[in-house]
């Protein structure tokens, strides 16, 4: 079955961005010339996704408004003769079919995904964590869908991480299957480097079979009383294969101020309008 739907989880508190996130969703922070969340939405669209299920929460209304149509704004732009901008604004509101669902209590990533169960139904689906932005020629999700098409089972995105960073990631025990593709034999959440079965860490892109919902429903709450996706994946491993795909591209973790700043600089340097002047500015600064 084709992967048609994608869940984008945007309900987290974003505590690492406090105090900004007291009144502003971190997903709406700008990354060069558009909000963070738009990168995931565009990646999903460019990977062939037909419907996006956005999981939001209290205080995240700005995301819905952003992708909605604003007749007032369109009217103002029309009056001012700003036809190009008007066209861009219309395109933005027609990007894709997005439906919103609220996670009423922030009980973790696993719980956020479970919130979308009714809309997903019985089909494979993608999950994108909007903090993880990947700069790549082919959208990461598209690369993963190709792997899914071959194995017709769960696929998680992995990246080679440095040994001292294993405590920040879910780490897989891999069995190499082909170039960049591994079968996941086991999954360890945030191990010390000495206990890590590899240096392949799971990052924020997944293709999941609907059976993940059954696993999410039965696992007990883990760290911080949260329902962890990693725990559900580990349980699913008993009945279904999980593959890991080492994607092509550079990933930025924009969930922290430093990561966000790194992504901002790296992507701005590549931007045709801003890049050359920014490069010159940075040169002067250093
Ligand atoms: P994070 O672990 O980055 O948490 O969530 P967070 O709340 O976004 O940020 P910090 O750690 O407080 O700074 C990983 C992903 O899971 C989503 C987040 O929105 C992010 O996409 N999430 C997390 C939910 O949707 N709901 C939750 O209850 C928790």
Q: Which pLDDT tens digit goes with each residue over 173-194?
A: 999 999 999 999 999 989 999 9
Tell me if 172 sits within 8 A of 197, measured CB to CB: yes
224 pLDDT more than 80: no
Strand spans (E) along 18-121: 30-31, 34-35, 51-56, 97-102
Average pLDDT score, the chain: 95
Is pLDDT larger for residue 177 or for residue 221?
177
Nearest to 208 by CA among 101, 89, 125: 125
Using CA positions, which residue lies closest to atom 3 of ligand 1? Answer: 255
CB atoms within 10 A of CB 142: 16
Beta pairing class for 154-160 and 200-208: antiparallel
Task: Report pLDDT for 225.
Answer: 84
pLDDT band for position 151 (50/70/90)? very high
CATH number corresponding to 5-285: 3.90.550.10
Intra-chain end-to-end CA distance of the chain, in Å: 53
Task: Report pLDDT for 244.
Answer: 98
Pocket of ligand 1 (CB under 6 A): 9-16, 55, 103, 106-109, 111-112, 129-131, 255
Testing ligand 1's pocket by substitution, the residue of 255, 257, 259, 260 carrying the most ligand atoms inside 8 A of its CB is 255
71-79 and 83-93 helices, crossing angle to 10°: 160
Task: Report pLDDT for 1.
Answer: 86
Nearest to 215 by CA among 191, 180, 187: 187
- The CA 11 to ligand 1 mean position distance, Å, reads 6
Give the Å distances, CA to CA, from 210 to 37, 263, 264.
24, 33, 35
pLDDT tens for each residue of 29-70: 999 999 999 999 999 999 999 999 999 999 999 999 999 989
- Ligand 1 nearest-atom number relative to CA 108: 28
Domain ranges of the chain: 5-285
- Ligand 1 nearest-atom number relative to CA 17: 13
Testing ligand 1's pocket by substitution, the residue of 6, 21, 57, 109 carrying the most ligand atoms inside 8 A of its CB is 109
């Amino acid at each position: 079955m084709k992967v048609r739907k994608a869940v984008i989880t945007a309900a987290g508190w974003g505590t690492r961005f406090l105090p900004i996130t007291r009144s502003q969703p971190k997903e709406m922070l700008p990354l060069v010339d558009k909000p963070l969340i738009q990168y995931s939405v565009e990646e999903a669209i460019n990977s062939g996704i037909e419907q996006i299920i956005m999981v939001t929460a209290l205080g995240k209304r700005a995301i819905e408004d952003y992708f909605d149509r604003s007749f007032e704004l369109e009217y103002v732009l029309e009056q001012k003769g700003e036809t190009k901008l008007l066209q861009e604004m219309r395109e933005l509101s027609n990007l894709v079919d997005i439906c919103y669902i609220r996670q009423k209590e922030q009980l973790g990533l696993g719980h956020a995904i479970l919130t979308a169960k009714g809309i997903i139904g019985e089909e494979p689906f993608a999950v994108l964590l909007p903090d993880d932005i990947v700069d790549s020629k082919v959208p990461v999700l598209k690369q993963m869908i190709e792997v899914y098409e071959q194995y017709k089972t769960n696929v998680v995105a992995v990246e080679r991480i440095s040994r001292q960073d294993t405590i920040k990631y879910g780490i897989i025990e891999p069995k190499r299957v082909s170039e960049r593709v591994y079968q996941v034999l086991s999954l360890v959440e945030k191990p010390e480097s000495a206990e890590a079965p590899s240096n392949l860490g799971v990052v924020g892109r997944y293709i999941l079979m609907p059976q993940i919902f059954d696993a999410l429903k039965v696992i007990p709450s883990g760290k911080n009383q949260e329902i962890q996706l990693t725990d559900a994946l580990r349980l699913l491993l008993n009945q279904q294969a999980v593959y890991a795909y080492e994607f092509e591209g550079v990933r930025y973790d924009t969930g922290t101020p430093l990561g966000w700043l790194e992504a901002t600089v790296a992507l701005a340097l590549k931007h045709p309008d801003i890049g050359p002047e920014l490069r010159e500015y940075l040169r002067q600064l250093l």
